[in-house]
Amino acid sequence: MTSGLIWYILILPDEEGAVKVAGKSWREQAWRRRARQLVSEDGLLRGSISLRQRVCGKPGCRCTKGERNEGMYVVYREAGRAVQIYIPKDWEDRVRRWVKRYGEARELLEKLSGLYEAKVRQRRE
C-alpha cells in the first residue's frame, strides 16, 4: 500500500495583483532565485571595465609609430579613491563575466530592497 501525500500551495494575489506563493510574489521569488544563482557561481567583481590606449615607450614598438597599445582595466572606488587594476589579455573574458555578474546581482538586491522599503513604508509584512 502506498501512502500519497498531497501538498497544497495557497496562491493569493497581493495588492498590486501579483500572485504570491508562501507570502512572496512570483517576482520576488524569481529575483531571489537569480540572486542566489549569481552569488553561487564562480566570480563576482565590483567595478567597471575601462579600455585604455597608451604609448609604452619601448623602442621598436608599434606605439612609437602612432599605433597605441590597448589595455583593459577594472576601475572601482575604495575609501573615496579610484583604484585601477590592469587585466591581462588572457583574463579579459573572465573578468568581463565577473563584472557583469556583480552588476546584475547588485541590481537584483536593489529591487529586493525596494520591495522591503515599500513594506516598511506601508507597515506590512
Read off the pLDDT band of 125 (50, 70, 90).
low
Dihedrals phi, psi of 84, to nearest 5 degrees: -125, 135
CB 50 within 8 Å of CB 106: no
Q: Average the pLDDT over 45-60 and give the result.
A: 88
Per the document, the length of the chain is 125
* Backbone angle region of 4, left / alpha / beta, with phi > 0 → left and psi within -120 to 50 → alpha: beta
Q: Average the pLDDT over 68-85 and give the result.
A: 93
pTM of the model: 0.70
Q: What is the Cα–Cα distance from 2 to 83, expressed in whole angstroms?
A: 63
Computed over its alpha carbons, how large is the radius of gyration of the chain?
A: 24
Q: Average the pLDDT over 6-18 and give the result.
A: 50
Half-sphere exposure of 75 (CA within 13 A, CB side): 11
- pLDDT surpasses 70 at 17: no
Read off the pLDDT band of 70 (50, 70, 90).
confident
Note the pLDDT of residue 18.
52
- pLDDT surpasses 60 at 37: yes
Note the pLDDT of residue 39.
87
